[in-house]
Amino acid sequence: MRDFFNSTRKDLKSYLSEISESVVHAVSLLKYVYKNAPAKPWETPTLSIKLKKIINNSFYLKPLEIICFQESKLDSTIKFVFNLKDSAQIETVLMPEPHRITLCISSQVGCRQACSFCQTSRMGLVRNLTTGEIINQIYTVKLWLKNNSDWLIKNNYDVNSTVSNIVFMGMGEPLDNVSDVIRSIDIITDGNGFEIAQKRVSVSTAGHVDGLKKLHNAFPRIPIALSLLNPFESERSKFMPINKKWPISEVIKTLIQIQKENNKFVFIQYPMIKDFNDTKKHAIKLSEILEPLNARINIIHYNPINDANFETADSGNIQLFRDILHNAGYMVTVRKSNGQDISAGCGQLIQKKKK
Ligand code: SF4
């Protein structure tokens, strides 16, 4: 049996051709499943009885098992913990924002990038998620929203509202699993799939140059968020080992190339850590290295994690830092991560390994 969520439109067409059925049914199947969220994809009304039987025997479609659910008292952010078929667990975060509902999804179980400020890195890489597991996070949360209109009403949404924006910022470095991330974006943005515009799907990276190029070739309009952390190569390499392979100068060169073709902003994520990356010297260097880029900077109040000696930078330093960048002509936003009281913020996602 195949996981229905693993199939792009192209995959469904090839499957239908293999069984000598018309490829037009691929569109009906996708449309029906992603718009109506039925329990069984073979209920698609336009299919013949024979094809319904074949689909029934070939595919399964099952939402993920929710094993834990926490809602923030601070901002209504919800953290879901899902159990996968092999009992691996992943986290997905639902964030209410003005005029949109954003879902932060995972691309891997754990992560191999070993960034020292991030809780997920403590797991190491357990495995990549399949396309089906990435897509099913969205499907399951959409179903949950359909059945929990009270959360929508409480957050001032219409009862028919659903997930409108996707960010690949959950567990994992998305570009370490670039082929499944690209296949998922294919389904997310397909007019017969989740039908979410490319500009509403963003991918965050620690600076994976090969993955950036592949993603850009497949989906040139997808916004990129770069987790920068420190503008000095040697300091960055110490806390983000990926910088030894792809120095920040090379990442920026790649992003300049990408921007020549798509003319989009690159979002710079800058978690501010006390006595580490919060000085005037860092702000000036950051403004220099970003100069050739069309960048928007998000300064994030760092979320402390259990086993590291990092602290959130002082508010005064954050303000000074912001002013230096603002005066240099950048658009700068200072923000706190959502769901801090439920450990759903940036860099706080972790699941214990099964013994
Ligand atoms: S910050 Fe991102 S890339 Fe770095 S370890 Fe955490 S999840 Fe992986």
183 belongs to a structural domain: yes
108 alpha carbon, distance to own chain's centre:
10
Say yes or no: 109 and 209 in one domain.
yes
| Beta strand residue intervals within the chain, DSSP E | 2-3, 59-60, 65-71, 78-83, 89-97, 100-104, 108-110, 125-128, 165-168, 201-205, 224-227, 266-272, 295-301, 331-336
353 belongs to a structural domain: no
pLDDT on residue 240: 96
Residue minimizing CA distance to atom 4 of ligand 1: 115
CA of 55 from ligand 1 middle (Å) equals 38
Residues 344-355 as b or e (16 or more Cβ within 10 Å = b): bbbbbbbbeeee
- Give the 3-state secondary structure of residue 65: strand
Nearest residue to 224 (alpha-carbon basis) of 180, 184, 268: 268
Residues with a known catalytic role: 91, 346
Say yes or no: 56 and 180 in one domain.
no
What proportions of the chain, in percent to the nearest 5, are helix, strand and coil? 40, 20, 40
Q: How many structural domains does the chain have? A: 2
Residue minimizing CA distance to atom 2 of ligand 1: 173
Residue 26, domain CATH: 1.10.150
CA of 170 from ligand 1 middle (Å) equals 9
Burial class (CB in 10 A: 0-12, 13-18, 19+), 70: middle
Q: At 191, list the tokens.
A: 């007019």
Say yes or no: 53 and 100 in one domain.
no
In this prediction, the residues of the chain whose per-residue pLDDT falls under 70 are: 39-42, 344-355
Say yes or no: 44 and 107 in one domain.
no
271 belongs to a structural domain: yes
**Which atom of ligand 1 approaches the CA of 108 most closely?**
7
Residue 119 lies in domain: 65-342
Name 295's bridge partners.
Answer: 266
Tell me the best of 93, 107, 109, 118 to mutate to test the pocket of ligand 1, counting ligand atoms within 8 Å of each CB and taking the most: 118
d(CA 124, CA 113): 8
Residues 6+ apart with CB under 8 A from 146: 37, 162
355 belongs to a structural domain: no
Q: What are phi and psi of 46, to 5 degrees?
A: -80, -5
pLDDT on residue 354: 47
CA of 114 from ligand 1 middle (Å) equals 7
Burial class (CB in 10 A: 0-12, 13-18, 19+), 23: middle
348 belongs to a structural domain: no
| Beta strand residue intervals within 120-213, DSSP E | 125-128, 165-168, 201-205
Burial class (CB in 10 A: 0-12, 13-18, 19+), 313: buried
Residue ending a domain, choose from 16, 43, 60:
60
Tell me the best of 227, 243, 351 to mutate to test the pocket of ligand 1, counting ligand atoms within 8 Å of each CB and taking the most: 227
d(CA 219, CA 225): 15
CA of 172 from ligand 1 middle (Å) equals 6
Residue minimizing CA distance to atom 7 of ligand 1: 172
pLDDT on residue 78: 95
pLDDT on residue 234: 97
CA of 314 from ligand 1 middle (Å) equals 24
Say yes or no: 26 and 96 in one domain.
no
Residue minimizing CA distance to atom 6 of ligand 1: 118
Nearest residue to 342 (alpha-carbon basis) of 82, 141, 93: 93
d(CA 17, CA 23): 6
Burial class (CB in 10 A: 0-12, 13-18, 19+), 48: exposed
pLDDT on residue 40: 66
Say yes or no: 138 and 196 in one domain.
yes
